[in-house]
Amino acid sequence: MLQLAWSFLYWYLRPLIKWFLRRTTKLCELQRICYGVPSGAQRTLEVEFSLENSRCAEIKRLISDLNQASESNKLDANGRSIIHYAVYTVCRVKCIDLHIHSQFTKSFGACVQQIWGYRQLLQEVENLRKTSYDSTNPNHEEKLLLLWSLLKPDEQLEARISKQWQEIGFQGDDPTTDFRGMGLLGLENLIFFAREYPKAARHVLSHSRHPNYGFVYAIVGINITSMAYYLLRNGTAKTHVYNACNGIPSLKLFHIMYSYLFFEFDKFWINEKPKNVMQFSIVREKYEKGLKDSLADPKTILRLNFHVDEI
Amino acid sequence: MGLLSILRKLRSSPDKELRLLLLGLDNAGKTTLLKKLASEDVTHITPTQGFNIKSVQSEGFKLNVWDIGGQRKIRPYWRNYFENTDVLIYVIDSADRKRMEETSVELMDLLMEVKLSGVPLLVYANKQDLLNAAPASEIATSLGLLTLKDRVWQIQACSATSGEGVKDGMEWVCKNVKTKKK
DSSP A181-207: GGHHHHHHHHHHHHHH-HHHHHHHHHH
* pLDDT tens sequence across B121-171: 999 999 999 999 999 999 999 999 999 989 999 999 999 999 999 999 999
pLDDT band for A78, please (50, 70, 90 cuts): low
With a cut of 60, say whether residue B10 has pLDDT above it.
no
Q: Which residues pair with B154 in a beta bridge?
A: B122
B95 annotated binding-site participant: no
To the nearest whole angstrom, how far is the Cα of B161 from the nearest Cα of chain A? 12
For chain A, say whether B74 makes contact (Cβ under 8 Å).
yes
Cβ within 8 Å of residue A85, ≥6 positions away:
A62, A65
Handedness of CA A23, A24, A27, A29 (dihedral sign): negative
Q: Are A32 and A123 contained in the same domain?
A: yes
With a cut of 80, say whether residue A299 has pLDDT above it.
yes
The one-letter code for the residue type at A213 is Y
Q: For residue B72, what is the domain's CATH number?
A: 3.40.50.300
Q: Please state the rounded mean pLDDT for residues A273-286.
A: 94
B57 annotated binding-site participant: no
Q: Is residue A27 part of a domain?
A: yes
Determine the Cα–Cα distance for residues B29 and B35; give it in Å rounded to an integer: 10
DSSP state of B127: -
With a cut of 90, say whether residue A126 has pLDDT above it.
yes
- Using the 3D structure, point to which of A76, A95, A130 is the last residue of a domain: A130
Cβ contacts (< 8 Å) between B49 and chain A: which residues?
A: 215-216, 219-220, 223, 277, 280-281
Rg (CA), chain B: 16
Q: Where are the alpha helices (DSSP H) in chain A?
A: 2-25, 29-36, 41-52, 57-71, 79-93, 102-130, 138-151, 183-196, 198-208, 217-233, 238-244, 251-272, 280-295
> What pairing do the DSSP bridges indicate for beta strands B51-58 and B61-68?
antiparallel
CB atoms A277 and B80 under 8 Å: no
Catalytic positions of B, written as ranges: 71
- Using the 3D structure, point to which of A130, A152, A174 is the last residue of a domain: A130
Q: Are A62 and A185 contained in the same domain?
A: no
With a cut of 50, say whether residue B181 has pLDDT above it.
no
To the nearest whole angstrom, how far is the Cα of A81 from the nearest Cα of chain B? 35
For chain B, say whether A181 makes contact (Cβ under 8 Å).
yes
To the nearest whole angstrom, how far is the Cα of A70 from the nearest Cα of chain B? 23
Determine the Cα–Cα distance for residues A185 and A189; give it in Å rounded to an integer: 6
Q: Are A170 and A82 contained in the same domain?
A: no
With a cut of 60, say whether residue B1 has pLDDT above it.
no
Mean pLDDT is lowest, of B7-16, B97-106, B137-146, for B7-16
**For residue B103, what is the enclosing H or E element?**
helix B100-112
**Three-state DSSP class for A163?**
helix
Determine the Cα–Cα distance for residues A60 and A71; give it in Å rounded to an integer: 17
pLDDT band for A26, please (50, 70, 90 cuts): confident
Q: Are A104 and A221 contained in the same domain?
A: no
Q: Is residue A305 part of a domain?
A: no
Q: Which residues pair with B57 in a beta bridge?
A: B62
B9 vs A65, residue with greater confidence: A65
Cβ within 8 Å of residue A69, ≥6 positions away:
A75, A82, A116
CB atoms B50 and A280 under 8 Å: yes
B82 vs B61, residue with greater confidence: B82
| Selected residue of B49, B51, B96 to mutate for chain A interface (largest A Cβ count, 10 A) | B49
B30 annotated binding-site participant: yes
CB atoms A278 and B74 under 8 Å: yes
Q: Please state the rounded mean pLDDT for residues B36-49.
A: 93
**Domain assignment of residue A237, given as a range:** 138-295
Q: Is residue A85 part of a domain?
A: yes
How many angstroms separate the first and last alpha carbons of chain A?
56
Cβ within 8 Å of residue A160, ≥6 positions away:
A141, A145, A174
The pLDDT value recorded for residue A98 is 87
* pLDDT tens sequence across A232-266: 999 999 999 999 998 899 999 999 999 999 999 99
Name the residue among A275, A165, A172, A185 with its Cα closest to residue A226: A185
Q: Are A270 and A154 contained in the same domain?
A: yes
Determine the Cα–Cα distance for residues B8 and A202; give it in Å rounded to an integer: 51
Please report, rounded to a whole number, the percentage of residues in chain A having pLDDT higher than 70: 97
What mean pLDDT value characterizes chain B? 89
Determine the Cα–Cα distance for residues A88 and B152; give it in Å rounded to an integer: 72
DSSP state of B172: H
Q: Are A269 and A149 contained in the same domain?
A: yes
Q: Are A207 and A238 contained in the same domain?
A: yes
Is B53 within 8 Å of B67 (Cβ atoms)?
Answer: yes
The pLDDT value recorded for residue B182 is 41
The pLDDT value recorded for residue A13 is 87
CB atoms B27 and A276 under 8 Å: no
Cβ contacts (< 8 Å) between A288 and chain B: which residues?
A: none
The shortest CB-CB distance from B45 to any of A171, A181, A279 is to: A181
Determine the Cα–Cα distance for residues B17 and B19; give it in Å rounded to an integer: 7
What mean pLDDT value characterizes chain A? 92
Q: Is residue A30 part of a domain?
A: yes
Q: Are A291 and A163 contained in the same domain?
A: yes
Q: Are A243 and A101 contained in the same domain?
A: no
Name the residue among B51, B26, B69, B132 with its Cα closest to residue A173: B26
Q: Please state the rounded mean pLDDT for residues A164-178.
A: 94
Determine the Cα–Cα distance for residues A99 and B1; give it in Å rounded to an integer: 51
Q: Is residue A6 part of a domain?
A: no
A163 vs A23, residue with greater confidence: A163
With a cut of 90, say whether residue A207 has pLDDT above it.
yes
Q: Are A124 and A214 contained in the same domain?
A: no
Determine the Cα–Cα distance for residues A109 and A44; give it in Å rounded to an integer: 10
**Domain assignment of residue B51, given as a range:** 3-178
In this structure, which long-range contacts are made by residues A160-167, counting pairs with CB atoms below 8 Å and at least 24 apart in sequence? A165/A218, A166/B73
The dihedral over CA atoms of A45, A127, A86, A7, expressed in degrees to the nearest 10, equals -30
Q: Are A71 and A214 contained in the same domain?
A: no
For chain A, say whether B44 makes contact (Cβ under 8 Å).
yes
Q: Is residue A98 part of a domain?
A: yes
Q: Are A57 and A120 contained in the same domain?
A: yes
For chain A, say whether B95 makes contact (Cβ under 8 Å).
no
The pLDDT value recorded for residue A192 is 97
Q: Is residue A1 part of a domain?
A: no
Q: How many domains does chain B have?
A: 1
- Using the 3D structure, point to which of A84, A111, A130 is the last residue of a domain: A130
Is B58 within 8 Å of B49 (Cβ atoms)?
Answer: no
The shortest CB-CB distance from B46 to any of A172, A180, A215 is to: A180
pLDDT band for B2, please (50, 70, 90 cuts): low
Q: Please state the rounded mean pLDDT for residues B70-77.
A: 92
The shortest CB-CB distance from B74 to any of A223, A277, A282 is to: A277
Q: How many domains does chain A have?
A: 2
The shortest CB-CB distance from A276 to any of B46, B52, B77 is to: B77
Q: Is residue A269 part of a domain?
A: yes
